[in-house]
């Protein structure tokens, strides 16, 4: 019965959206081909958005030097990233 409920639930889910401040979660889920942008939003604070076919990751938090290097290698730098949940848009300004 749980399997049947699980299957029905999964069919209704169109997209996975992860909102996190944990850099480990960010990097664990950026493995599939997708597009990511990052912007520095404070002294040591970064905002990252990652898009793939069926997932989005929204990250805002701090990164170690090693994590920042990895992010720069795998992502595009942006001037700003604005998330408008009401309109369902993410605006990235380069």
For residue 27, the surrounding DSSP H or E stretch is: helix 23-28
pLDDT of residue 1: 42
pLDDT of residue 50: 94
Instruction: Please identify every stretch of the chain with a pLDDT value under 70, giving residue numbers as ranges.
Output: 1-11, 32
Its pTM stands at 0.80
What are 61's strand-pairing partners?
A: 46
Dihedral over Cα of 92, 63, 43, 20: its sign: positive
Burial (Cβ within 10 Å: 0-12, 13-18, ≥19) of residue 25: middle
pLDDT of residue 10: 56
């Amino acid at each position: 019965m749980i399997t049947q409920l699980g299957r029905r639930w999964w069919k209704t889910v169109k997209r996975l959206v992860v909102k996190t401040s944990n850099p480990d979660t960010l990097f664990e889920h950026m493995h599939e081909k997708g597009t990511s942008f990052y912007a520095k939003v404070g002294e040591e604070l970064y905002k990252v958005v990652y898009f793939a076919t069926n997932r989005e990751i929204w990250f805002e938090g701090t990164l170690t030097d090693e994590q920042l290097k990895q992010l720069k290698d795998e992502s595009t730098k942006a001037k700003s990233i604005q998330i408008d949940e009401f309109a369902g848009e993410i605006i990235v300004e380069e």
